[in-house]
Amino acid sequence: MEELKEVKFATNVLLCPHCDRVIDECGEVLDTIDVEHVENDKYGVQARWKDVYVCPHCGKKYYMVCEH
């Protein structure tokens, strides 16, 4: 099974964690995983999850942590 890695952030750009190339657009969300309800977060976060995408350069999957 392919290793799923978190996207890299570098000076206002996203980098693929597999090939280190700049990702201009994430494209469509392939999957949503690791959804969790958050209680009593000091910043008001109520939920956290990972949206899975595919790198347009190398075709490998990566995820971005999302919070609401």
pLDDT at 64 (0 to 100): 94
pTM for the predicted model, two decimal places? 0.84
Q: For the residues 41-55, what does the mean pLDDT come to?
A: 92
Q: For the residues 3-15, what does the mean pLDDT come to?
A: 89
Q: Provide the pLDDT confidence category of residue 1 given band limits of 50, 70 and 90.
A: low
Beta-sheet strands, E only, within the chain? 5-6, 8-10, 13-15, 22-23, 31-37, 47-54, 61-67
Q: For the residues 32-54, what does the mean pLDDT come to?
A: 92
Q: Is residue 6 over pLDDT 70?
A: yes
- Going from the C-alpha of 17 to that of each of 13, 23, 33, 39, 67, the distances in angstroms are 12, 10, 18, 30, 20
Domain ranges of the chain: 5-67
pLDDT top residue among 11 and 38: 38
